Amino acid sequence: MPNNAAATARRTPLAIGTTAAVLSLLVPGIARAQQYEVTVDASSRADTNIYRVPDSVAKTYPHEGADLFNFIGIEASGSDKRGDLSAELTGSLGQSLYAYNSTLNRFQYGGSSQVDYAAPRTGVTLYAEHRLRPVAFEDSRAVRNVLQSFTRLTTDASRNVLGDIRAVGRLNYTRSRAADDTLQRNDNARLGYGGGLGYFSPTGNSITLEVARLQTTTFTDSQVRLGDGFLRYRPEFVENSIVSHLLYAPTALTKITSSVGYTWHNDRSVLNADFKGVTADAAIEWSPLPTVFVTPAFRRAFSTENGLFSNGVEVTSYGVSATAVVLGRLNVGSRLNRVRRNFRYDLQANDPLNFARVENTTRFNANVSLVTGSRFVVQVAYDHIGRSATLSQFRFASDAVTLSLSRKLSY
């Protein structure tokens, strides 16, 4: 999977029959995977500000912008390992149901596959994912659910050239499309490639030094106002980077994953909002006790994590999450995260330069879950999200309480 240490991505699986069929193709001679898992879950969330708008605006909506969001989903996964080769497929199907506004109801799905080849002198990882998912209301800024189609393909490869020194190569492609007349101005396909040299120790630690290049292809022309006239805009850019990737486990209780470098972002649109500076994606996984896990993380980049905005924005995020298992069946977790987004311009406005702004968003989550004897998981969670911004129309606050029930089956 591509390195994204600052975010803990939720695994989202495929139907079991498809998993078994594809795995048997990826790993010849394997008729069934070593492990299957299926999870069915249902949840209900009471949210005080579903549209993520300022309080004064929320009060003009029905129920003052509050809603009861319900979700029903099924997840499945399959994995197998034979010798140096391992494979995994994941996927999900889900349906959202809103109590007060049925026009927001949406069907969504996602799937991913990963194949790893890990030989003594060679390593290759192939990863692919595709998802159809709703855009967060704070990004769509609409009183309707906008769907984003997102695709990612990556290849990482390394080969010994001298002792534990390896040549490293990476290739990645992402495609983001939004089903919205305004958001589609940001639609983009990004192709990245690079390589370098690295040290890979026999214990599994590694460090590399690489050069990389990222460039975009765009599909939609739009008209934006500059001064007294309108000009054609396409969200095109090129990034060149020097980056070091580190994977280091100093003890059995600690693991460090990071990518740190310097990036030159050349905005090739008519708005010409260039960036340059340090970029990073790092996390430390620490387990002070066998049932306690703490993970601080940091990310700085010139695109948002969801791939929706990839030009004219500088993003810095940092946070910490912690989980603990109590008495074997009770799980307690908490997460605190802060994201700063500096928009040099706003493509959702016809006069984008007048809506340049800085946003600071704080998210807090606390949750408690209980695993019953029949393998049902009952969870209660509280979420707070608040945003301050240099422009008042982008400020909001929201609180939510979620009750969920899930059942996992393993084969």
Tens of pLDDT along 241-278?
Answer: 999 999 999 998 999 999 999 999 998 888 787 889 99
**d(C-alpha 260, C-alpha 282), whole Å:** 8
Q: Hey, which of 14-28, 148-162, 212-226 has the most confident mean pLDDT?
A: 148-162
Residue with tokens 């600052």: 6
Mean pLDDT of the chain: 87
pLDDT at residue 55 in the model: 93
pLDDT tens-place string over residues 281-316: 999 999 999 999 999 999 999 887 777 777 778 999
pLDDT at residue 44 in the model: 98
What's this model's pTM, rounded to 2 decimal places? 0.84
| Helix/strand/coil (H/E/C) assignment for every residue in 344-409 | CCCCCCCCHHHHCEEEEEEEEEEEEEEECCCCEEEEEEEEEEEEEECCHHHCEEEEEEEEEEEEEE
By percentage, how much of the chain surpasses pLDDT 90? 63
pLDDT above 90: residue 93 = yes
Our measurement of the distance from residue 28's CA atom to the centroid of its chain's CA atoms, rounded to an integer in Å, reads 32
Closest by CA to 238, choosing from 276, 279, 208, is: 276
| Percent helix / strand / coil, the chain, rounded to 5 | 10, 65, 30
pLDDT at residue 12 in the model: 38
pLDDT above 50: residue 370 = yes
pLDDT above 50: residue 8 = no
